[in-house]
């Protein structure tokens, strides 16, 4: 590594960490004042819990809110803006060092940070997301464990053999429900089950129905009815809890390997499949944004540096907001099925990639 590489790397890392710390602090202050303050005061949340929550929330800030790429964008604009304004860039060109050679250090810095982001999200990030969910539920939520919120009703619409299941009260912790109504329409007959209780048997890995009646109606035979009394039987569907509650899975709590395994294990359909596919690809896109935003910052800073470095921050915020808006629109279209989930994850990245490539190619050297 040359003296120039060490010089640029040191300045980029230093500016990146200062910018990241500033953005995280700003986010926490705004979130407390506008979002969490009523819950903290009303439920008398201990200070150590609040501190733990926001420390564990840092991976989400850096990754899901794009703070790490945005910090690199700001750092790149500020560092290289001053690099140009102090005529250091001109001296570098005069000494025979071209723009492509200068890109080595910033791209290496952004690659290192992006790789660190990926490792953090795949290890610490998943565990931190689980813990933040627990804190949100027990301290920031309006309903705590044991209240009626844990026994709300639930409806499963796409079960085996066209069965649908409506449960009046369901406890997710014990995997038991009360007042169950199942029904299925077939070509020549109609089935209906009413039971008082449903439970997940961990030994047999099956759902069990207790104390009810199984009715079968035949519309083509003047609605002749046959019925069977139920003491305890296996439910007429085989879907396990992981599949049934897949729509509630927070993909932030799953690593790439875990999320891929869940998708491979179950034949998901519809919105659940689209959401998981899009979120899986987003896990790959997010670390790459660090490299992309650095590549975007360099040509902008070379042009802006010749004028006024102070507008670099405004440009960085503007470019970051445009990406967030573009990404949000693409994700909404991906979740709704208007756009392929894979395209929805990669289109914003592709747009910025070609834009930064064109700017670098056209940057005067």
How many residues are present in the chain?
365
CA–CA separation, 226 and 228 (whole Å)? 7
> Rounded mean pLDDT of 344-352?
94
**What pLDDT, on the 0 to 100 scale, is given for residue 309?**
55
pLDDT band of residue 68 (cuts 50, 70, 90) is very high
Rg (CA), the chain: 27
pLDDT band of residue 310 (cuts 50, 70, 90) is low
> Rounded mean pLDDT of 329-345?
92
83 Cβ contact partners less than 8 Å away, ≥ 6 residues apart:
8, 89, 301, 305
> Rounded mean pLDDT of 227-242?
88
**What pLDDT, on the 0 to 100 scale, is given for residue 334?**
92
Do the beta carbons of residue 83 and residue 7 sit within 8 Å? no
What share of the chain in percent tops pLDDT 90? 43
- Top pLDDT among 10 and 141 is at 10
> Rounded mean pLDDT of 142-160?
62
Q: Does residue 56 register a pLDDT over 90?
A: yes
274 and 127 belong to one structural domain:
yes
The total of structural domains in the chain comes to 2
Alpha helices in 121-269 (DSSP H): 126-135, 241-244, 256-265
**What pLDDT, on the 0 to 100 scale, is given for residue 4?**
86
126 and 212 belong to one structural domain:
no
| 188 to 181, 194, 214: CA distances (angstroms) | 21, 21, 17
305 and 354 belong to one structural domain:
yes
Its domain, for residue 188, covers: 160-238
Do the beta carbons of residue 277 and residue 342 sit within 8 Å? yes
Task: Classify residue 5 by burial, with Cβ atoms within 10 Å: 0-12, 13-18, 19+.
Answer: middle
206 and 59 belong to one structural domain:
no
102 and 194 belong to one structural domain:
no
- Domain end position, chosen among 183, 214, 238: 238
Q: Whole-model pTM?
A: 0.75
Give the phi and the psi of residue 163 in degrees, each rounded to 5: -75, 145
255 part of a folded domain? no
254 part of a folded domain? no
């Amino acid at each position: 590594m040359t003296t120039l590489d060490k010089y640029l790397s040191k300045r980029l890392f230093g500016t990146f960490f200062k910018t990241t710390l500033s953005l995280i602090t700003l986010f926490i202050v705004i979130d407390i004042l506008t979002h969490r303050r009523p819950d903290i005061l009303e439920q008398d949340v201990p200070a150590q819990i609040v501190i733990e929550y926001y420390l564990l929330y840092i991976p989400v800030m850096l990754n899901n809110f794009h703070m790490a790429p945005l910090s690199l964008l700001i750092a790149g604009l500020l560092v290289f803006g001053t690099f140009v304004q102090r005529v250091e860039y001109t001296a570098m060109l005069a000494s025979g060092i071209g723009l492509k050679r200068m890109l080595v250090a910033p791209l290496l810095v952004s690659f290192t940070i992006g790789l660190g982001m990926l490792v953090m999200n795949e290890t610490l990030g998943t565990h931190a997301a689980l813990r933040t969910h627990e804190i949100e539920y027990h301290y920031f939520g309006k309903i705590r464990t044991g209240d009626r919120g844990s026994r709300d009703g639930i409806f499963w619409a796409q079960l085996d053999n066209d069965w649908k299941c409506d449960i009046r009260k369901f406890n997710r912790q014990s995997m038991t429900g009360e007042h169950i109504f199942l029904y299925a329409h077939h070509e020549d007959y109609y089935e209906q089950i009413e039971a008082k209780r449903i439970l997940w048997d961990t030994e047999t890995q099956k759902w069990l129905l207790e104390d009810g009646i199984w009715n079968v109606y035949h519309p083509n035979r003047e609605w002749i009815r046959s019925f069977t009394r139920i003491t305890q039987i296996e439910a007429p569907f085989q879907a396990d809890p992981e599949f049934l509650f897949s729509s509630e899975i927070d993909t932030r709590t799953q690593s790439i390997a875990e999320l891929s395994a869940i998708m491979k294990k179950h034949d998901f359909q519809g919105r659940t499949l689209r959401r998981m596919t899009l979120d899986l690809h987003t896990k790959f896109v997010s670390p790459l944004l660090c490299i992309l935003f650095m590549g975007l910052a360099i040509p902008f800073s070379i042009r802006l540096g010749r004028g006024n470095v102070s507008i670099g921050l405004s440009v960085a915020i503007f470019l970051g907001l445009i990406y967030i808006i573009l990404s949000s629109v693409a994700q909404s279209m991906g979740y709704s099925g208007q756009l392929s989930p894979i395209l929805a994850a990669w289109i914003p990245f592709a747009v910025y990639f070609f834009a930064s490539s064109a700017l670098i190619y056209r940057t005067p050297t």
